[in-house]
């Protein structure tokens, strides 16, 4: 089957490469010539473990190609995916659908064969209806069906999530739409990955509801962590204790500095806007957004407290380990590290940071943070070390060396990576999340 993937960003590129790996004939399209040139040269526009090798092997086998020419690239494709960005619109938090609509118009202007048009971009409820209207108003005489097929890919684990999904959600009530989509996902169907067919609107809402629910779970455990600190309980035990209840589930109950990334912050805001438009408030999600927003700077204040409070902190230096919103990505979007660093700098604290992949993206966002190329360089001379992202290389720091290089043995672990007893036995003052 021939598949066209419009948009060669994170979702488009991972999905396109995986579809090609399933044996489909895939062309990834992007209007950014430099991105397509780079892909032709084997250079990935994003950091995602395993993606370069997957792209390379499928390009070699002739199943994966790249193009800037949408009009010719979509010819003969039975499924045309729209995987362009839907950023938060400046000012109001609504998802900006201008790229999705523009692609729909372009497809309508050049579609010649029968095809299913699939929105993979995260789009508010009703977007499929609008895409359908745009195509109906276009010049095409081909038979088409607009289908919603949201993605649930985690950065850093995207290929595995794509190939071994918990479920595939397909929003279409038409036989033609279902038949083509079954063929698209046939390799996974044979694998017995569950495929859930729903209405288009339900599929669109499932994506937002899933992300909002996960963001709620994280925020819930973060507030429990704060309470644990006050009452003298341990949030790791509380997480385990509630997570063993099958109705609750153990995942996404890891307390930390708040969620960030390209999806949760943007999608929770967009859901609030949809709820507002339909006059059906989602108050829990409203609270989640507020609590998470204020948590990031609060984590900076936690580090200031460890330095002995505002007065004592002024003029001191913090060595920050990790900048990205989570490990195994170079993505800095809405990373808690930004709020932590800014709160520290606002209090007159100097920040020296190291991140294995994120420093290039972090530089423009945190111009006053001094970036260094090694974790121990960030620690050298620091009055406190703050572990902000749980990269593997920070999990087994040589604590004796840390103590030797740092100005003072203070470790603030915002990801609960270390065992408090062990770190304290090594002579550190140790502060973590939700552990008294």
Provide the annotated active-site residues.
263
Give CA–CA dist 252/236, Å, rounded: 12
Per-residue 3-state assignment (H helix, E strand, C coil) for 334-392:
CCHHHHHHHHHHHCCCEEEEECCCCHHHHHHHCCCCEECCCHHHHHCCCCEEEECCCCH
Residue 120 or 316 having the CB closest to ligand UDX: 120
Span interacting with ligand UDX, options 99-107, 137-145, 150-158, 425-433, rule CB under 6 A: 150-158
What is residue 52's three-state secondary structure?
helix
- One character per residue 361-400, x = contact with ligand UDX (rule: CB under 6 A): ----------------------------------------
Among 7, 171, 261, 319, binds ligand UDX (CB under 6 A): 261
Among 218, 313, 351, 411, binds ligand UDX (CB under 6 A): 218
Which residues lie closer than 8 Å to 134 by C-beta, 6 or more apart?
101, 104, 105, 108
> Tokens 């590129």 map to which residue?
13
Residue 42: left if φ>0, alpha if ψ -120 to 50, beta else—which one?
left
Residue 322 or 409 having the CB closest to ligand UDX: 322
What is residue 83's three-state secondary structure?
coil
Q: Which residues make beta-bridge pairs with 429?
A: 410
Q: Tell which residue, 83, 84, 85, 86, has the closest CA to residue 96.
A: 86
Where do the H-state alpha helices sit in 146-282?
Answer: 158-163, 175-184, 186-190, 200-231, 235-243, 264-277
Span interacting with ligand UDX, options 50-58, 165-173, 183-191, 248-256, rule CB under 6 A: 248-256
Among 259, 354, 428, 430, binds ligand UDX (CB under 6 A): 259
Residue 145 or 151 having the CB closest to ligand UDX: 151
Within the chain, how many helices (H) and strands (E) appear? 19, 14
Span interacting with ligand UDX, options 250-258, 282-290, 367-375, 391-399, rule CB under 6 A: 250-258
Span interacting with ligand UDX, options 153-161, 305-313, 346-354, 367-375, rule CB under 6 A: 153-161
Q: How far is the CB of 14 from ligand UDX (least distance, A)?
A: 11
Give CA–CA dist 202/10, Å, rounded: 24
Half-sphere exposure of 313 (CA within 13 A, CB side): 23
Q: How far is the CB of 198 from ligand UDX (least distance, A)?
A: 17
Q: Which tokens sit at 140?
A: 């095409």
Residue 10 or 430 having the CB closest to ligand UDX: 10
Span interacting with ligand UDX, options 31-39, 78-86, 172-180, 247-255, rule CB under 6 A: 247-255
Footprint (CB under 6 A) of ligand UDX, residues 29-88 = none
Q: How far is the CB of 214 from ligand UDX (least distance, A)?
A: 6
Which residues lie closer than 8 Å to 29 by C-beta, 6 or more apart?
4, 5, 6, 7, 8, 66, 67, 68, 69, 70, 73, 74
- One character per residue 185-214, x = contact with ligand UDX (rule: CB under 6 A): --------------------------x--x
Q: Which tokens sit at 37?
A: 């040139």
Instruction: Establish if 330 lies at the interface with ligand UDX (CB under 6 A).
Output: no
Residue 146 or 288 having the CB closest to ligand UDX: 288
Among 145, 155, 234, 383, binds ligand UDX (CB under 6 A): 155
Footprint (CB under 6 A) of ligand UDX, residues 264-323 = 264
Residue 48 or 145 having the CB closest to ligand UDX: 48
Q: Which tokens sit at 229?
A: 């600190």
Residue 135 or 386 having the CB closest to ligand UDX: 386
Query: Residue with the closest Cβ to ligand UDX?
Result: 263
Among 59, 252, 275, 408, binds ligand UDX (CB under 6 A): 252
Among 18, 29, 103, 253, binds ligand UDX (CB under 6 A): 253
DSSP state of 62: T
Site residues (CB under 6 A) for ligand UDX?
A: 151-155, 211, 214, 218, 252-254, 256, 259-264, 325-326
């Amino acid at each position: 089957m021939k598949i066209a993937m419009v948009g060669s960003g994170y979702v488009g590129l991972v999905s396109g490469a995986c579809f090609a790996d399933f044996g489909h004939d895939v062309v990834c399209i992007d209007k950014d010539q430099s991105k397509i040139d780079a892909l032709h040269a084997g250079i990935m526009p994003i950091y995602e473990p395993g993606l370069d090798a997957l792209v390379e092997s499928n390009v070699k086998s002739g199943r994966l190609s790249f193009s800037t020419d949408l009009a010719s690239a979509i010819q003969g494709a039975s499924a045309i995916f729209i995987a362009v960005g839907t950023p938060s619109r400046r000012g109001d938090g609504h998802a900006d659908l201008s790229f999705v609509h523009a692609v729909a118009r372009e497809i309508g202007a050049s579609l010649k064969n029968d095809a299913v048009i699939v929105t993979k971009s995260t789009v508010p409820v009703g977007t499929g209806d609008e895409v359908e209207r745009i195509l109906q108003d276009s010049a095409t005489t081909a038979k088409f069906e607009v289908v919603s097929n949201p993605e649930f890919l985690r950065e850093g684990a995207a290929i595995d999530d794509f190939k071994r999904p918990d479920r595939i959600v397909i929003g279409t009530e038409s036989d033609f739409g279902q038949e083509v989509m079954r063929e698209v996902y046939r390799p996974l169907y044979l694998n017995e990955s569950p495929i859930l067919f729903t209405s288009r609107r339900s599929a669109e809402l499932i994506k937002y509801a899933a992300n909002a629910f996960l963001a709620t779970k994280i925020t819930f455990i973060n507030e429990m962590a704060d309470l644990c600190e006050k009452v003298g309980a341990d949030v790791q035990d509380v997480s385990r204790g509630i997570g063993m209840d099958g109705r609750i589930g153990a995942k996404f109950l890891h307390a930390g500095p708040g969620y960030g990334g390209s999806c949760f912050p943007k999608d929770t805001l967009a859901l609030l806007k949809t709820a507002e438009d339909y006059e059906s408030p989602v108050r829990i999600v409203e609270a989640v957004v507020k609590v998470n927003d204020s948590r990031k700077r609060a984590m900076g204040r936690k580090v200031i407290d460890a330095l002995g409070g505002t007065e004592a902190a002024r003029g001191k230096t913090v060595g920050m380990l990790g900048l990205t919103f989570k490990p195994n990505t170079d993505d800095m979007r809405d990373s808690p590290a930004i709020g932590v660093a800014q709160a520290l700098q606002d209090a007159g604290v100097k920040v020296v940071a190291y991140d294995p992949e994120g420093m290039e993206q972090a530089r423009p966002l945190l111009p006053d943070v001094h970036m260094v190329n090694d974790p121990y360089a960030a620690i050298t001379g620091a009055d406190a070390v703050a572990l902000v992202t749980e990269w593997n290389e920070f999990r087994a720091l040589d604590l004796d060396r840390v103590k030797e290089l740092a100005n003072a043995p203070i470790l603030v672990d915002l990801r609960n990576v270390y065992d408090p007893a062990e770190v304290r036995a090594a002579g550190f003052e140790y502060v973590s999340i939700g552990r008294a």
